[in-house]
Chains A and B, each alone.
Chain A
Amino acid sequence: MAASAGTAAAPRRVRARPPGAWIVRARAWDVSLRLDAPALTVGTAMAALAAAALVLSLTMGDFPVEPREVVRALTGGTADPMVNHIVVQMRLPRALTAAGVGAALAMSGMLLQRLAHNPLVSPDVIGINAGAAAAATAAIAVLGGTALQVAGFALGGAVATAVLLYLLAYQRGVSGNRLVLLGIGVSAVLGSVTSYMITRADIDTAQRATVWLTGSLANRDWAHVATIAAALAVLTPLALGLSRQLRLLQLGDDLAVALGGRVRLARGGLLLTAAGFSALATAVAGPVAFVALAAPQIVRRLLAERAVGILPAAGCGAVLVLLSDALARTGFGGGELPVGVVTGILGAPYLLYLLARSNRTRG
């Protein structure tokens, strides 16, 4: 199929050390980290933006709180115990969960897009989310499970699907393209199982399942924060460590091997890392659509030609989900909407705008 010419990035000259880059090597673990001044700037800006979005999100709700008060509540408490309680106990866990889910989804999407050389590849496409969704829908429709059971089922479904995909795709190594195609096949099967359960359920159950399938952060507490924080703490260093291999993989396998890349190992590691990010994010918040696809693309278009770092994408995903959830909680009058509805409404126009004013950048 001739699409290798299509969305695949044209191979570019990759210099070992672009201007303004420092390389930090830790020989003992054979890991090196390129620190690249512009990417670092963007990363810092994204982190600042995420912090601002977090504060903004904490000010919003039925009981508005001044941003100053929010900062004070976070840094040691205000005089007003009521404000402390609302900000720290009620809003903060949900906001932190939103940020963590956004960052995890964005990194998952970033790794997969780079692995497959295809901007449409996200965890929604390769079947991991479909596995989580089918298991969670079963928990809702068949068992009438509690929120915790649903999350557990979702995680189990995601992990089982990832393992199945890996076994299906493994033929003397795993190729990104084959994995994506197999993922589409597996997604189709699992998706039809999910649809079947929803058409068989009564309307209340169907509604509950639909909310979960859209992605929601309602009633998220510190347990969810801990889950997603642990996921990020374990997987982000892995993603960063393997990202040098990503740059090699972009050159094509033969060249990557010649330059000393361990292609098979790197690809397997990157896939598992991406799957882990999306599995945990989905278990915590449901399969929030579009973040994994959009965040890397938005950052990429803001950074134009430069190879995009993983952390800026994570920051962008965190901002997107934080703001979306703040709007979902407050912006629509009459009850709240699932966050997954708002991510598309908020993120898609921005991505469309970036596309519309793009100039000759590589895809």
Chain B
Amino acid sequence: MAAPATGTTYAGAAARTSQHERTSEAGLLRGAGARGAGLAVAALVTAAVALASLLVGREVLSPADVYAAYADFTGSDTDLIVTHLRVPRTLAGVGVGVALGVAGAVVQGVTRNPLGGPGILGVNVGASLAAVLAITFLGVTAVNGYVWFAFVGAAVATVVVYGVASLGSDGVTPVKLALAGAAMSALLGSVTSAVILRDRTSLDEYRFWSVGSLAGAESQMLAQALPFAAVGLVMAVALVRQLNALALGDELAQALGLRLWLVRLLGGVTVVLLAGTATAAAGPIGFLGLAVPHAARALAGPDYRWIVPWTAVLSPALLLTADIVGRVAVRPEELQVGIVMALVGAPVFIYLVRRQRRAGM
């Protein structure tokens, strides 16, 4: 992928803001050493959560069971639980978490709107509407049946949002992008409601799909989705410097040699690849993509070279923690991850927001 602008002209440009901004915007962790060490610790925590996700559930397993399932597969119940349930589900949690979180960070950077999550570009509603239409008019029911419908719906909605925002004499502006996304969300959400209120079968499917769940993850589907998400992740990493420059405002970013339209376009493609895949795999999970980049910013400051890795590490930890809690909270039943995540994540988010002396935005 050709970088929209080259060189280190605006490497860390966002970090070189005015004195006033620096005091109000620096994260809780000051200095590259603290941020790097913090990131390493966070990565260890995420790894521990992923391991716990392999072991904890209705059947509690030992690490030896997990090892044996692959080293010495006998087809026992334990082996099947590991290979068919726990491992795909954990991988899905890591993948969906990273994808949604990083997509949220990119949206916030491109729209310069701290209240934007991946949902704001129409990704969730596009996916939901496509899924509902597939259920209602094509009689698709199995979760994997509407994965690709959802992905295509997410992509189409985002393309339309970008298209509308780019019309008019001033081209794409962050505000127009955010508003076009909100309007598109309202429109598609309305159509979705109209369909499910007319058709009880759809409502019944939709109310469970719409809260988001990792329970339906299957290895085959994950393998199909992985390339899309991987490309999106690479693009997001490649865009961090451009996002830093964008944060300075359009005029300044242009003066630094940034081609705004190209950055916004690539950002949009990145979001569709990441959030579209995640939504297709697990349903429309809200909150994560909005809150985790915020938490990353609160911890590591406004530089996207830190925000993106922090988000990528924290998101799967949050999502998997929520999933584990959902598995054990109401045994033998399960709570969907989307429901638990808000209950687990929101209090932490609220604490972080209150910690910031000035709600730097």
Neighbouring A residues of B71 by C-beta, 8 Å:
none
**Cβ of B331 under 8 Å from chain A:** no
**Cβ of A214 under 8 Å from chain B:** yes
| 26 A-B pairs with C-beta separation under 8 A | A1-B297, A3-B361, A5-B249, A6-B249, A7-B112, A7-B113, A7-B174, A118-B113, A168-B354, A177-B361, A178-B356, A188-B346, A195-B336, A195-B338, A199-B211, A210-B207, A289-B190, A290-B186, A297-B179, A338-B197, A344-B191, A345-B190, A345-B191, A358-B176, A359-B169, A363-B174
Complex interface: stretch among B38-46, B56-64, B160-168: B160-168
Instruction: Tell which of A118, A207, A344 touches B200, judged by Cβ atoms closer than 8 Å.
Output: A207
B336 touches A199 (CB 8 A): yes
**Cβ of B189 under 8 Å from chain A:** yes
Instruction: Tell which of A5, A7, A185, A210 touches B346, judged by Cβ atoms closer than 8 Å.
Output: A185
B114 touches A1 (CB 8 A): yes
A191 touches B184 (CB 8 A): no
Neighbouring B residues of A119 by C-beta, 8 Å:
175, 178-179, 182
Complex interface: stretch among A229-237, A259-267, A346-354: A346-354
**Cβ of A171 under 8 Å from chain B:** yes
Bound complex: CA A361 to CA B113 (Å)? 18
A349 touches B187 (CB 8 A): yes
Instruction: Given A1-B297, A199-B207, A289-B189, verify A210-B196 contact (CB < 8 Å).
Output: yes
Smallest distance from the beta carbon of B167 to chain A beta carbons, Å? 4
Instruction: Tell which of B186, B343, B359 touches A348, judged by Cβ atoms closer than 8 Å.
Output: B186
**Cβ of A15 under 8 Å from chain B:** no
Neighbouring B residues of A348 by C-beta, 8 Å:
183-184, 186-187, 190
Instruction: Identify the closest chain B residue to A195 (Cβ).
Output: B211
B21 touches A211 (CB 8 A): no
B197 touches A341 (CB 8 A): yes
A356 touches B167 (CB 8 A): yes
Smallest distance from the beta carbon of B201 to chain A beta carbons, Å? 9
Tell me the residues in window 196-246 of chain B with beta carbons closer than 8 Å to chain A beta carbons: 196-197, 200, 203-204, 207-208, 210-211
Instruction: Identify the closest chain B residue to A6 (Cβ).
Output: B112
Bound complex: CA A195 to CA B335 (Å)? 11
B113 touches A120 (CB 8 A): yes
Instruction: Tell which of B190, B210, B345 touches A188, judged by Cβ atoms closer than 8 Å.
Output: B345
- Per-residue CB contact flags for chain A residues 104-142 toward chain B (1 = under 8 Å, else 0) read 000000000000001111000100000000000000000
Bound complex: CA A168 to CA B347 (Å)? 11
A352 touches B350 (CB 8 A): no
**Cβ of B120 under 8 Å from chain A:** yes
Neighbouring B residues of A363 by C-beta, 8 Å:
173-176
Tell me the residues in window 319-346 of chain B with beta carbons closer than 8 Å to chain A beta carbons: 335-336, 338-343, 345-346
Neighbouring B residues of A13 by C-beta, 8 Å:
none
Instruction: Given A1-B297, A7-B174, A7-B178, verify A195-B339 contact (CB < 8 Å).
Output: yes
Neighbouring A residues of B169 by C-beta, 8 Å:
358-360
Neighbouring B residues of A290 by C-beta, 8 Å:
182-183, 186, 190
**Cβ of B95 under 8 Å from chain A:** no
**Is chain A's interface secondary structure helix, strand, loop, or mixed overall?**
helix
Complex interface: stretch among B260-268, B269-277, B285-293: B285-293
**Cβ of A28 under 8 Å from chain B:** no
A contacts, CB < 8 Å to B: 1-7, 118-121, 125, 168, 171, 175, 177-178, 180-182, 184-186, 188-189, 191-193, 195-196, 198-199, 203, 206-207, 210-211, 214, 289-290, 293-294, 297, 332, 337-338, 340-345, 347-349, 351-352, 355-361, 363
**Cβ of B316 under 8 Å from chain A:** no
Closest 5 CB pairs of A and B: A6-B112, A344-B190, A363-B175, A178-B359, A348-B187
Tell me the residues in window 286-315 of chain B with beta carbons closer than 8 Å to chain A beta carbons: 286-287, 290-291, 294, 297, 302
Count of residues in B whose CB is under 8 Å from the partner chain: 74
A182 touches B189 (CB 8 A): no
A192 touches B339 (CB 8 A): yes
B167 touches A357 (CB 8 A): yes
Bound complex: CA A340 to CA B187 (Å)? 11
**Cβ of B77 under 8 Å from chain A:** no
Neighbouring A residues of B74 by C-beta, 8 Å:
none
Bound complex: CA A118 to CA B113 (Å)? 8
Instruction: Tell which of A184, A349, A355 touches B179, judged by Cβ atoms closer than 8 Å.
Output: A355
Instruction: Given A188-B287, A199-B336, verify A355-B197 contact (CB < 8 Å).
Output: no
**Is chain B's interface secondary structure helix, strand, loop, or mixed overall?**
helix
A182 touches B350 (CB 8 A): yes
**Cβ of B281 under 8 Å from chain A:** no
A184 touches B175 (CB 8 A): no
Bound complex: CA A361 to CA B190 (Å)? 29
Bound complex: CA A125 to CA B116 (Å)? 11
B291 touches A192 (CB 8 A): no
Instruction: Identify the closest chain B residue to A362 (Cβ).
Output: B175
Smallest distance from the beta carbon of A236 to chain B beta carbons, Å? 25
Instruction: Identify the closest chain B residue to A10 (Cβ).
Output: B249
**Cβ of B94 under 8 Å from chain A:** no
Tell me the residues in window 138-176 of chain B with beta carbons closer than 8 Å to chain A beta carbons: 164-165, 167-170, 173-176
Neighbouring A residues of B249 by C-beta, 8 Å:
5-6
Instruction: Tell which of A4, A6, A198, A293 touches B207, judged by Cβ atoms closer than 8 Å.
Output: A198
Bound complex: CA A337 to CA B190 (Å)? 10
Instruction: Identify the closest chain B residue to A332 (Cβ).
Output: B194
Neighbouring B residues of A343 by C-beta, 8 Å:
186, 190
Bound complex: CA A167 to CA B203 (Å)? 37
B17 touches A191 (CB 8 A): no
Bound complex: CA A83 to CA B317 (Å)? 64
Instruction: Tell which of A2, A184, A185, A186 touches B25, judged by Cβ atoms closer than 8 Å.
Output: A2
Bound complex: CA A345 to CA B188 (Å)? 8
Bound complex: CA A245 to CA B346 (Å)? 32
Most A CB contacts (10 A, CB to CB) among B21, B176, B342, B347 go to B342
B115 touches A125 (CB 8 A): yes
Smallest distance from the beta carbon of B103 to chain A beta carbons, Å? 17
Bound complex: CA A114 to CA B291 (Å)? 23
Neighbouring A residues of B287 by C-beta, 8 Å:
184, 188
**Cβ of B12 under 8 Å from chain A:** no
